[in-house]
Amino acid sequence: DATLLLSLYQGKFRVAVQHVDLAFLLPLGVGIITAVLFFTHVIPLPALLRTHPALVYGLFFGLLIASIGLLLRNLGHIGLRDGGWILFGAMAGFWLANTIPMNTPDAAWFIFLSGALAICAMILPGISGAFVLLILNKYAYLLDAIGKLDFSVIVPFMLGAIVGLLLFSRFLVWLLRRFYRQTFLVLTGMLAGSLWVIWPFQEYTYQNIGDKSHLIGSMPSWPREFDGTVMAVFGLIVIGAATVIALDVFAKRPRSF
């Protein structure tokens, strides 16, 4: 925001650090970098998304189902008016997920926008930046670029994240102070409404253009037979959900120091 930019311009770096709460952002940044390196070099998620998409989406589906459950639990009793906010969020999430095409641009402006939207999602309660990138069909693309140190992609993404953080953080504070419950209800609905995008079992539609076949759409489906892959997907859904629940329990444990 203006205070941060003015502090940096005047060389008041200590004031700038205190203003952005570096003690919070630095561990967050280290965690993000560690996770990206892990999922590009140790467990290559971009390659797995191409070769075994159902398994990867199964894990993400479990993570999000549990996140929705925890959000609802933290809200306590859900009344009729609350249900209206959830329904509004679900309709918005469903509309957004259907509006975004299967093949999104690789241009710098869209990567910048993806970075801004992903960081906004990360600082929102209950929403994952990775989930937003999956909806934008840029998750594997960005992980690939980071793994290959492709700065033509990394730089606009990081710039978008910085701009998004500076512009959105104050608005989020205001929103949560004024409309805390409504914000959580709408976010929960948006997650639920866009879940179908990462349902691991999809029927894909392709169109032949020239000598290449291009993915143009998908529709959620139910597996026709329960083979080893299907069982593995359901197992990963359970693992994803259990991971979120375990992290929530760990975060609420009293500290002994």
Q: Dump the DSSP string for 204-255.
A: EEEEEETTEEEEEEEEE---SS--HHHHHHHHHHHHHHHHHHHHHHHHTSPP
Q: Which amino acid is residue 163, in one-letter code?
A: V
**Phi, psi for 218 (deg, rounded to 5):** -150, 155
Which residue is listed with tokens 């997907």? 233
Query: Of 40, 43, 194, 19, which is closest to residue 121 (Cα–Cα)?
Result: 194
Q: What is the CA radius of gyration of the chain?
A: 20
pLDDT score for 22: 60
Token code pair at residue 181: 């419950």
Around Cβ 240, how many Cβ atoms within 10 Å? 20
Please enumerate in sequence order all residues whose Cβ is within 8 A of that of 193, keeping only pairs 6 or more positions apart, or say none. 89, 90, 91, 92, 93, 94, 95, 97
Token code pair at residue 170: 């104050």
pLDDT score for 226: 84
- 33, with CB counted inside 10 A (0-12, 13-18, 19+), is exposed
Q: Where are the domains of the chain?
A: 42-251
Query: Of 66, 3, 86, which is closest to residue 239 (Cα–Cα)?
Result: 66
Residue 230, CB-side half-sphere exposure with 13 Å CA sphere: 9
Please tell me the distance from the alpha carbon of residue 141 to that of residue 147, in angstroms, as a whole number.
Answer: 10
- 224, with CB counted inside 10 A (0-12, 13-18, 19+), is exposed
209 Ramachandran zone, left/alpha/beta (phi>0; psi -120 to 50): beta
Instruction: Give the helix/strand (H/E) hosting 203.
Output: strand 202-209
**257 residues of the chain, pLDDT tens digit each:** 555 555 554 555 565 555 555 666 666 667 767 767 776 667 777 777 778 888 888 998 998 899 888 888 888 888 888 999 999 999 998 888 888 777 788 899 999 999 998 888 887 766 778 888 888 888 888 888 887 888 999 999 999 988 888 788 778 878 888 888 898 898 889 888 888 888 888 876 666 666 666 555 677 788 888 888 899 999 999 999 999 899 888 877 776 55
